[in-house]
Amino acid sequence: MMCSLKMVSPRPPTTLFGLQRQITANGDGFPTFLPKEVKDIKDPFARALAQKIVRIPVPLQMENFRGCVMSSCIKPTVQLPDKSPVVLLHCFDSSCLEWRRAYPLLEEACLETWAIDVLGWGFSDLQKLPPCDAASKRLHLFELWKTYIKRPMILVGPSLGATVAVDFTATYPEAVDKLVLINANAYSEGTGALKDLPKSIAYAGVKLLRSFPLRLLANVLAFSSPLSENIDWTNIGRLHCQMPWWEDAMVNFMISGGYNVASHIKLINHKTLVICSENDQIVSNQLSVKLLCELQNAVFREVPDSGHLPHVENPKQFVKLISDFASGKLN
């Protein structure tokens, strides 16, 4: 059902930004900052969402970096000031294209929806590379929220994105209204021994991570889909790996130690929806149950007929959960 509320298109934050999106679209409708391989993607939902990706300037002031990062995201087409905006993060080493099937349904459900690329992944302009450790990712998200969103949000994180959401909420509780944690990978202890690797070996490992066979294997584990669809979804999932800064950003994150948020979980008192998938082959459902028990104010739902990414495999059921949670129907 289409949203029947009166919607107001958001104004671009600056005139320059409004112009940038128009002049960077190429003949296929894709922004020119996307890798050329975007034209080979067949999934119509991914192609449509890729055409909506923009870059917005986000100020960053850190010890080793001062400046603006042109940060990739998908902005909402509507503003609903009386509702909390929904802000979508993504999994480890992914992009906002992960939301290709759920994003249109979220907007149809009358939810003001952002999909944001976490610093160091996605399609931002990082030719001048800032630090990409957990603290920098957190600060970048906060500065984006403070500059553009400006209201407590419903923060949605799948897999490692749930870890990013917990880390952010523990530090900036005022920026979050509610949390949605999907097949949460919140108990991992950072990047482990990888942080101690010599840089040459770390770069070799990152090159392997970008390889098509390894990515295809990950997709086979994540989705129960035909091979032809898995091949296309693999190309979608590794598109951001073609960005010229990607290897450096990945190595930077790897040797930084990554995320370790287990001690934060019991401190979170925000209303939280814990979602797990019926057939997740990557993160154990027992970890979702553990998360439910440790959070102060959480509800639990399972998405049937889906693997690690229910927002891709069963988007209608997923969006219904988000919509009901946003409106207070889930208790």
Q: Which residues are catalytic?
A: 159, 280, 308
Beta bridge partners of 180: 156, 273
Q: How far apart are CA 161 and CA 182, in angstroms?
A: 8
Other residues' Cβ atoms within 10 Å of the Cβ of residue 7:
15
Q: Is 145:175 a contact under the CB 8 Å cutoff?
A: yes
Other residues' Cβ atoms within 10 Å of the Cβ of residue 312:
24
Chain centre to alpha carbon of residue 252: 19
For 160, the token pair is 């490692």
Q: Where are the beta strands (DSSP E) in 79-195?
A: 86-88, 113-116, 153-158, 176-182
Q: How far apart are CA 142 and CA 83, in angstroms?
A: 19
